[in-house]
Homo-oligomer: A and B are copies of this chain.
Amino acid sequence: MTNAAEVVSIDFAKAGGMVAGIVQDVKSDEVLMLGFLNEESYRRTIETGFVTFWSRTRAKLWMKGETSGNRLRVISASTDCDNDALLFRVEVEGDGLVCHEGTVSCFTKPIEIGSK
């Protein structure tokens, strides 16, 4: 059963009804992607056990991988000290390529740090 108290504890009001959700592979610990969740997508994620974002560009609910087959099965989830960010530790279904560009993780572009 979903615990209603936990559903409503997230601080959606802080930033226009959305919080950031980090997706991390539960086995490799690799950070796979980041998306945003509004209250409804958060509730769907908890109910279904699959990460469901709110697509800011398309303005609709988006169960990640629903069409590609690479759904993100939530193994564990947590929020932070301010209740304004989410961390989902997941198993990726399908071929495991989370990014629509065909890579395991969306974080593929290195940024050079100037002080090095």
Contacts and interface: CB of A to CB of B under 8 A. Distances in A.
B49 A114 contact: yes
Nearest to A44: B114
How many chain copies does the complex carry? 2
B15 A56 contact: yes
A46 B112 contact: yes
A74 to B, nearest CB: 5
A111 interface: yes
A81 B56 contact: no
Given A77-B113, A78-B107, A115-B49, A85 B24 contact: no
A111 B56 contact: no
Contact of A112 (B2, B107, B109): B2
